[in-house]
Amino acid sequence: MDHQSQDRSWVDRYWKSPDGLKLHYRDYPARNVEAAESRPPILCMHGLTRNARDFAVLAERLSQEWRVIVPEMRGRGESEYAKDSATYNPLTYVADVQALLAQEGIERFVAIGTSLGGLMTMMLAMVDNSKIAGAVLNDIGPEIDPEGIDRIREYVGQGRSYASWVHAARSLQEVHGSSHPAFDLEDWLEMAKRGMVVQQNGRIGFDYDMSIAEPFQHDDGAAPPDLWPALEALAGRPVLLVRGELSDLLSVQTLDSMLARLPGSTSVTVPQVGHAPLLEEPEAFAAIDALLDRIK
């Protein structure tokens, strides 16, 4: 069933995973239908503990002339939680997205992937790169800095809850302050509302299944072992590599190697941001616009 209110630019829609879960996505129809008819849709894929709200600002902006689809991976947001926590892994997420593409009859798309979503983008390219019209990899590469993985392991799946949005915002600031040193309380409140919800007991908690942390705690659960061939599967397509200046997940050295292995790709470094840029910063907007101009 589709749900769209009068004042909203997206429709809530659903698809079934290969193992029978009901998964949710936001579908932003292009406002300029004529322009979008000749263009592939844009598929935005979120990070490990995130959901469709992460792309609200970007999707709103891009849906002027493109159809934008923002899936929520199993165990996040309005998507059903998995019965088996072992299925919380990149290979399963990719299979889930392939089921969505099949349902919608999508033969080609532009992928915008943040962190885990970027790993999925590379893996989708390795499966069938003819489907990918272009890609944005946000603060992720084939090699992940162990320091960043260790930091994520410290907070993922902790299941904390808070009495108020301000408490939630302050807690996020304590954990992620080094990634967003320029944020003020309003920004942290906005971040809290993206990643958390009011729970049944009235407290505020994270909008994901805490079990997603289980596979991630093992070395092979964070990312597949050798992703360089997956990155190289994007060769010949317009690719934008985004890095947060303060990132502890994507090193400058890895970014340079990625640019060398993908001739014709471009990169942008978002100042004063760690992992991961919101893709709402002026630098990110401009770089994404330039990439999409190459795809039109």
- How much is the pLDDT for 222? 54
Residue 150: its pLDDT value, please? 85
The reply to whether 1 falls in a domain is no
Instruction: Give the residue-averaged pLDDT of 157-164.
Output: 92
Could you identify the residue written with the tokens 């799946």?
157
Predicted confidence (pLDDT) at residue 3 exceeds the cutoff of 90: no
Q: How confident is the model at residue 154 (pLDDT cuts 50, 70, 90)?
A: confident
pLDDT of 219 over the 80 cut:
no
The answer to whether 118 and 244 have CB atoms below 8 angstroms apart is no
Tokens standing for residue 63: 């849906």
Closest CA to 16 of 88, 95, 86, 70: 95
**What pLDDT sits at residue 11?**
98
Euclidean distance between CA atoms 283 and 115, whole angstroms: 18
The pLDDT of residue 1: 44
- Examine the pLDDT at 55 and tell me if it is beyond 90: yes
Amino acid type, 152: I
| pLDDT value for 241 | 98
d(CA 42, CA 128): 17
Q: Does residue 224 carry a pLDDT above 70?
A: no
CA angle 222, 226, 227 (to 5 degrees): 80
Is the per-residue pLDDT at 226 higher than 90? no
What is residue 159's predicted lDDT score, i.e. its pLDDT? 84
> What are the tens digits of pLDDT across the range 235-254?
999 999 999 999 999 999 99
The SS3 assignment for 17 reads: coil
Residues 133 and 166 occupy one common structural domain:
no
Residues 170 and 28 in one domain: no
CA atoms within 13 A of residue 159's CA, in its CB half-sphere: 6
Q: According to the model, what pLDDT value does residue 243 have?
A: 98
Domain count, the chain: 2
Q: What is the pLDDT of residues 10-45, one digit of tens each?
A: 999 999 999 999 999 999 999 999 999 999 999 999
N-term to C-term CA, the chain? 31
The CA-atom distances, in angstroms, between 259 and each of 89, 176, 210, 228, 264 are 27, 28, 35, 12, 8
Domain termination site, one of 139, 172, 207: 207
Do residues 20 and 141 both lie within one domain?
Answer: yes
Rounded to an integer, the average pLDDT of 109-117 is 98
Same domain, 198 and 241: no
Query: Cβ distance 236 to 213 under 8 Å?
Result: no
Q: Are residues 61 and 132 in the same domain?
A: yes
pLDDT: which is higher, 143 or 220: 143
Could you give phi then psi for residue 108, rounded to 5 degrees?
-140, 145
- State residue 153's pLDDT score: 86
DSSP secondary structure of 127-192:
H-GGGEEEEEEES--SS--HHHHHHHHHHTT---EESSHHHHHHHHHHHHTTT-TT--HHHHHHHH
Q: What pLDDT, on the 0 to 100 scale, is given for residue 296?
A: 87
Percent of the chain predicted with pLDDT > 90: 87
More confident residue, 216 or 35: 35
- CATH code of the domain containing 26: 3.40.50.1820
Q: Burial, 70: exposed, middle or buried (Cβ in 10 Å; 0-12, 13-18, 19+)?
A: buried
- Domain housing 198: 158-207
Task: Give φ, ψ of 110 to 5 degrees.
Answer: -100, 130
Helical (H) or strand (E) element with 99: helix 90-104
pLDDT tens-place string over residues 116-139: 999 999 999 999 999 999 999 999
Q: How confident is the model at residue 177 (pLDDT cuts 50, 70, 90)?
A: very high
Residues 219-236, mean pLDDT to the nearest whole number:
81
| Same domain, residue pair 141 and 240 | yes
The residue type of 141 is G
